[in-house]
Amino acid sequence: MANISEVNGRTGSERPLAGQVALVTGGSRGIGKAIARKLSELGAAVSLCARDAKALEKAALELEGLGGRVYAHAADVTRAADVAALVRATEDNLGPITILVNNAGIGNPGFGPVQEKSEEDWNKVMNTNLKSVFLMSAAVAPLMIARGRGDIINISSLAGKNTFAGGALYCASKWGLQGLAGCMAEDLRGHGIRVSLICPGSVATDFSGRGPKDPRKVLSAEDVAHAVGMLATQGPQSFISEVALRPVTKP
């Protein structure tokens, strides 16, 4: 990873997102934190949100140490009032949002046979993995429409394209995200806004999944962040709508 002098010393061509503002949900750890770092290295000012204020502050300090412009805002992105306040505060502190990364997500309690799951389990998984994307996108899209540009990048999963035993709630949330993002893409592309999906396989993070992962056979958070960076820096006439991301070695 680059140190402070390396980040600040990069040329414009090495910082293609200079002047842009990215909002990353679930940005205090794991994939979200890696995405925030990648976008900062590419030159964007970054707004981080998460529910854990202490973890959020720590992540923001790490990014600031690399020389980037960072704003941290504790929020529950399953609540419309929190989302509205987050978007407003981000634009007040950093400027117009040009990149939204809907990364916030949970695994448990989404794993296990459907007959063992409760209504509370269902609501928790759907609210975090799907409702939050709706709320964030609905809040940011009008601002992007008014400016005629923007990228909305959604972190989905290969579980949004495949089924497996014990995955009913989690898969349902990610299949729903596939449909939501696909329709948003058609609604917004005429306004100069790209809506994309990244569908990773297993990633080596502390995400509550289905059990321990062999680090030799899974992706890293930085792999997902690289894909986000690729989407955010593609040419103005290019629209990569979906990226399926797998480890080289099959689990």
Q: Note down the domain range covering 215.
A: 17-245
Q: What pLDDT shows up at residue 14? A: 82
- Can you read off the two tokens belonging to residue 145? 């429409």
Q: What pLDDT shows up at residue 9? A: 46
Examine residue 57 and state whether it is found in any structural domain, yes or no: yes
Examine residue 3 and state whether it is found in any structural domain, yes or no: no
Q: What pLDDT shows up at residue 4? A: 29
Examine residue 2 and state whether it is found in any structural domain, yes or no: no
Pairwise CA distance, residues 163 & 119, whole Å: 21
Domains: count for the chain: 1
- Order the strands of the 70-74 sheet from edge to edge: 70-74, 45-50, 21-25, 99-102, 150-155, 193-200, 242-245
For residues 94-105, give the mean pLDDT.
Answer: 98
Task: Give pLDDT tens digits for 123-173.
Answer: 999 999 999 999 999 999 999 999 999 999 999 999 999 999 999 999 999
Per-residue pLDDT for 11 more than 60?
no
What CATH number corresponds to the domain at position 211? 3.40.50.720
Examine residue 85 and state whether it is found in any structural domain, yes or no: yes
Examine residue 107 and state whether it is found in any structural domain, yes or no: yes
pLDDT band at 12 (very low <50, low <70, confident <90, very high): low
CB 1 within 8 A of CB 37: yes
Q: What pLDDT shows up at residue 13? A: 64
Q: What pLDDT shows up at residue 214? A: 77
Beta-ladder partners of 101: 24, 153
Pairwise CA distance, residues 89 & 72, whole Å: 10
Examine residue 120 and state whether it is found in any structural domain, yes or no: yes
User: Which active-site residues does the annotation give?
Assistant: 170
Centre a 10 Å sphere on the Cβ of residue 108 and count the other Cβ atoms it contains. 15
pTM score above 0.85:
yes
Q: What pLDDT shows up at residue 209? A: 54
Examine residue 171 and state whether it is found in any structural domain, yes or no: yes
Examine residue 11 and state whether it is found in any structural domain, yes or no: no
In the predicted model, what is the mean pLDDT of the chain? 92
For residues 225-247, give the mean pLDDT.
Answer: 97
For residues 103-111, give the mean pLDDT.
Answer: 95
Q: What pLDDT shows up at residue 205? A: 76
